[in-house]
Amino acid sequence: MTIGARMLKTGLAVVLAIYISGLFGFSTPIIAAVAAIFTIQPSIYRSWQQVQDHVQSNIVGAAFALGTAYALGVTPISVGLVCVAVIVLNIRLRTTSAIGLTLVTVVAVMDAQADGLQYALERFLMVLTGIVSAFLVNVLVLPPRPKRQFREQVHEACNILTLLLRTAVSNEIREKVFREEHERLEQIFRRLDEQYALFREERVIRPSARRRHARQLLLSRRMIRTLRAGAALLEAIEEHFHSSPGAAEWAERFDRRIEALTKCHEQLLLKWEGKIKPGAVIRPEPVDDLARDLTAWLGEQPAERRRLLFVASAMFEYAWNLDRLARLLDRIMRRESGRGAPGSEDGGAEETDGKAAEPAAAVAGDARYRPNGRHAGERSD
């Protein structure tokens, strides 16, 4: 287990909160340390939003606590009533993330109210000290870089996915290794969804930067969808291929097509990184003969022998997503290099939620370079 940046920053925020509490002469730094722990977030935007929510919620909570303490006194029932009221108010204000720290503030302020208003205000200032300390650490020390983390996780997911797909039909990989790698892949998918959520929350001021940010959002979403399409193909193979009558007859052809698709996926990621010439066109080539032959073969089989249809459908879906990813990547790279004129076919409208029309020829096939748009010779089965 490695110590991540967020773990390290949490410790630094606690240290800074305790140090500042000592400079201000607070009686105890514990409340400031707790506030710092609650405020650390995985992105600067979320950290700033957390500061706003915490400041607003804690001011309201402290006011409720002081008012109730003077009106009803400090009793277990009054403390409980204030906690319930603060929770309801935070829900109405949509600051639910600040509920935990606000309750700490309420209890601390009401506990100190018996010693006078000055002590209650001191407890509130301790909370603010912890909030500000955490925000400063999050911004100044190892600031979050979700784009770099997203890129690394996409490569890790692709490496695992291609390994599992290349050995799925032949069933060469050990069962224990398959389960472990598959679980790792699912964990990476969850992290990718979280990283994409961080992208969407980012606020960009300059118009040109906003357009670039929007294109990167489209590309990130398509990256995730393509990976999940590959995972769906893996699930279909595990569920249906090896239990399907006639699987041995089609194993070599399916294995060859899956190898071509995984190679295409890897090449697209290399192009995304700028390791392949921007003019090189990478596509999963159409293989109509496989679809035609498989359709004819399935039509001759009884219903219970048609489970290969699920695998073929998942494979064509994976190829379709790869084609969408390739076209979107080409458009974005042309836009960013300044070669795509506004309104042109390559530099025009971006992808929109899967509603844009795509060529029907985007089916499974060999992944080959076609430099300068020239098609490489097709390989038949």
Q: Are 241 and 254 in contact (CB under 8 A)?
A: yes
pTM: 0.69
Q: Is the pLDDT of residue 115 over 60?
A: yes
Could you say which of 140, 175, 193 is where a domain stops? 140
Q: Are 224 and 193 in contact (CB under 8 A)?
A: yes
In this prediction, residues 341-368 reach a mean pLDDT of: 39
Q: Is the pLDDT of residue 373 over 90?
A: no
How much is the pLDDT for 288? 65
Q: What is the CATH number of the domain that holds 335?
A: 1.20.58
Q: Are 126 and 26 in contact (CB under 8 A)?
A: yes
| pLDDT tens track for 20-73 | 988 888 877 888 898 888 888 777 778 888 888 888 888 888 888 888 888 888
In this prediction, residues 329-333 reach a mean pLDDT of: 90
Query: Mean pLDDT lowest for which of 1-5, 67-71, 193-197, 257-261?
Result: 1-5
CA dist list (Å): 106 to 37, 89, 127, 221: 17, 13, 11, 42
Mean pLDDT of the chain: 79
In this prediction, residues 67-96 reach a mean pLDDT of: 87
Q: Is the pLDDT of residue 356 over 60?
A: no
CA dist list (Å): 115 to 28, 69, 112, 123, 231: 15, 12, 5, 11, 62
Q: Is residue 31 part of a domain?
A: yes
- Residue with the larger pLDDT of the pair 242 and 56: 56
How much is the pLDDT for 303? 63
For residue 231, which amino acid is it?
A
Query: Mean pLDDT lowest for which of 89-103, 149-163, 301-315, 367-381?
Result: 367-381
Place 190 in a pLDDT band, splitting at 50, 70 and 90.
Answer: very high
The residue whose two tokens read 């707790």 is 34
Q: Is the same domain home to 235 and 189?
A: yes
Query: 77 burial class (0-12, 13-18, 19+ CB within 10 angstroms)?
Result: exposed
In this prediction, residues 262-286 reach a mean pLDDT of: 86
Q: Is the same domain home to 135 and 158?
A: no
Give bridge partners of residue 106 from the DSSP assignment. Answer: none
Q: Is residue 301 part of a domain?
A: yes
Q: Is the same domain home to 274 and 321?
A: yes
At 302, list the tokens.
Answer: 């009884």
Place 234 in a pLDDT band, splitting at 50, 70 and 90.
Answer: very high
In this prediction, residues 137-153 reach a mean pLDDT of: 82
Q: Is residue 82 part of a domain?
A: yes
Q: Is the same domain home to 103 and 154?
A: no
- Residue with the larger pLDDT of the pair 110 and 321: 321
Q: Is the pLDDT of residue 342 over 70?
A: no
Q: Is the pLDDT of residue 214 over 90?
A: no
Place 363 in a pLDDT band, splitting at 50, 70 and 90.
Answer: very low
Q: Is the same domain home to 293 and 167?
A: yes
Q: Is the same domain home to 118 and 186?
A: no
Q: Is the same domain home to 217 and 342?
A: yes
For residue 53, which amino acid is it?
D
Q: Is residue 377 part of a domain?
A: no
Q: Is the same domain home to 134 and 153?
A: no
| pLDDT tens track for 282-302 | 888 766 667 777 777 776 666
Q: Is the pLDDT of residue 263 over 80?
A: yes
Q: Is residue 380 part of a domain?
A: no
Q: Is the same domain home to 30 and 124?
A: yes
DSSP result, 120-145 = HHHHHHHHHHHHHHHHHHHHHSS---
Q: Is the same domain home to 170 and 127?
A: no
Q: Is residue 376 part of a domain?
A: no
How much is the pLDDT for 192? 92
DSSP result, 255-292 = HHHHHHHHHHHHHHHHHHTT-S-TTEEEEE---HHHHH
Q: Is residue 244 part of a domain?
A: yes
How much is the pLDDT for 346? 40
Q: Is residue 381 part of a domain?
A: no
At 33, list the tokens.
Answer: 């340390």
Could you say which of 85, 117, 140 is where a domain stops? 140
Q: Is the same domain home to 342 and 223?
A: yes
Length of the chain as a residue count: 381
Q: Which residues contact 312 (CB under 8 A, 6 or more apart)?
A: 254, 291, 294
In angstroms, how far apart are the furthest CA atoms of the chain?
88
Place 366 in a pLDDT band, splitting at 50, 70 and 90.
Answer: very low
How much is the pLDDT for 358? 38
- Structural domain tally of the chain? 2
How much is the pLDDT for 338? 67
d(CA 380, CA 145): 45
Q: Is the same domain home to 208 and 98?
A: no
Q: Is the pLDDT of residue 370 over 50?
A: no
- Residue with the larger pLDDT of the pair 27 and 16: 16
Could you say which of 140, 155, 180 is where a domain stops? 140
Domain that holds residue 65: 5-140
